[in-house]
Amino acid sequence: MRGALLVAGTHSDAGKSVVVAGICRWLVREGVKVAPFKAQNMALNSYVTGEGAEIGRAQAAQAAAARIEPEAAMNPVLLKPSAERETQVIVLGKPYATATARSYGAMKEELLPLVLDSLADLRRRFDVVVCEGAGSPAEINLRANDIANMGLARAANLPVVVVGDIDRGGLFASLYGTLALLSPEDQALIGGFLVNKFRGDPAVLEPGLRQMGGMTGRPFFGTLPHARGLSLLDGEDSLALDVPRSVKPPLGRDVLRIAVVRLGRISNFTDLDPLSHEPGVAVRFTESPEEVLEADLAVLPGTKATVDDLAALRASGLDRAILERSERGLPTLGICGGYQMMGGRIADGVESRKGEVPGLGLLPVETVFGEEKVLGRPGGQAILFGEAPVAGYEIRHGRVARSGGEPFLRTDGADEGCVAGETFGTSWHGVFESDAFRRAFLHRVAEVRGLDWSSGDEPFAVAREAQMDRLGDLVAENVDRDALLRLVEDGAPVGLPLVPPGGAGALEALVGRELRA
């Protein structure tokens, strides 16, 4: 089979990313060569491909679901908000520009051909490409120069499935309203709907599905049940931090409590996901100084705005909690931007452009920001943890130089990171996916805190792979697979009915008539 599909959603966090991953896993198990694609992603959770390109972390997870290596073409445009009204634009994995909302809008015209070339390249090399939309296709204020939703679908003639999150309520209104706000030309590509996160008896939902189908002339391809225990699938943005994280039963008497500072521009918070994989580890993202001080391990995570988030840390009093932890010898870890905050001088003429500012002074390191971003997939050994192998990835403008303490990691004869007492720092993301290192690090935390805690023995990669298979099962068992495959291969059916008012222009005209009346 050959074809492509765009999975859109009624709003952000409707489940588009997870649905795309599930479709990819289902198709690859059916022997289909499939690839994910997201034309434009806005996320601070990013990943470095083997070719040294930065893409959205969700697309890397979707590539894993498809059992292929992630690449730049899968996410040609990545937006990384760095200030309230400013965003770094990453194009084909490399920094391209810094833009405001208005200036980026004007930039889209030059980016659309590049987006279409990336999609066409994937379609030449794969049987099926499953595309993910961004936000909602009914954001009528952005439709004129859209490159991620219906603008992409129209330009590439893609059939579209709209996903609705029933768990939030208002499912039918959201789906109907999304369709009704689209122009007739856009509506012609909407082939049907998919319900996500359903709890309860499907028979209760069935009358609404039938009525909605009659009102729109479009089918429901399936109803995906609410699935628990999918915490190891990479969240795309900070909305994922609002979901409570389950704690596996401990193997010893005690639970390790880990407090992660919820920074304003927090990035790559998936660094902490492998910790939740261990039995008896409770990970909480928090803005409370008291929780940070009382935790067994505190983490200052990555950030896209090191200097600005450091200022916010000081304004909130969280800096005093981190400083007191160091004075009391309590385990504390900084990752990337959080590591930079823990050092001395920070010279930033790139992100914040505020020049030199003092760090927290907990580690003997200094950071100088460079225009060119460091992107890499390094590997090495954890010097203080039995030389346990560690692999990670780097995404940063800051160059960190150590002038004291001990190195944290060693790679190719060079040192990385810094350790002073029980305060640790590293520029590498993803280090806790390395099983031996993760367990050794947590055992040290437990020992320092005098806790009876034991690690598990299941590799993190095995657990994540099992969750990908669960997603594939959800699609295979709850979706009309034949109907979805027909949509992929044949495109949206001809002659789909128009749902009034049929677009922003028609809506404006309708409102105008009523006002005149």
What single letter denotes the amino acid at residue 153? A
**Alpha carbon 223 to chain centroid, angstroms:** 24
In the sheet that holds 345-348, the strands lie side by side as 355-358, 345-348, 365-376, 394-402
Of the candidates 336, 397, 418, 443, the residue annotated as catalytic is: 336
Provide the 10 A C-beta neighbour count for residue 494.
7
Q: Are 35 and 68 in contact (CB under 8 A)?
A: yes
SS (H, E, C) 35-64: EEECCEEECCCEEECCCCCEEEHHHHHHHH
* Length of the chain (residues): 517
In sequence order, what are the beta bridge partners of 400? 367
And the tokens for 26?
């289902």
Q: 165, 93, 105: which is closest to 139 by C-alpha?
A: 105
Is the separation of the CB atoms in 212 and 240 below 8 Å?
Answer: no
Q: For residues 407 and 38, give the distance between their C-alpha atoms in angstroms, rounded to a whole number.
A: 38
CA angle at 480 for the pair 475 and 482, rounded to the nearest 5°: 110
Helices vs. strands in the chain: H and E counts, helices first: 16, 28
- Cα–Cα–Cα angle for 278, 288, 267, rounded to 5 degrees: 60
DSSP H helices in 32-91: 57-65
The rounded distance, in Å, linking the Cα atoms of 60 and 381 is: 24
Q: Residue 397 catalytic?
A: no
Query: How many beta carbons lie within 10 A of that of residue 246, not counting itself?
Result: 10
- For residue 262, count CB atoms less than 10 angstroms from its CB and return exposed for 0-12, middle for 13-18, buried for 19 or more: middle
The one-letter amino acid code at 201 reads: D
Q: Is 131 a known active-site residue?
A: no
Task: Give the residue numbers annotated as catalytic, written as ranges.
Answer: 336, 429
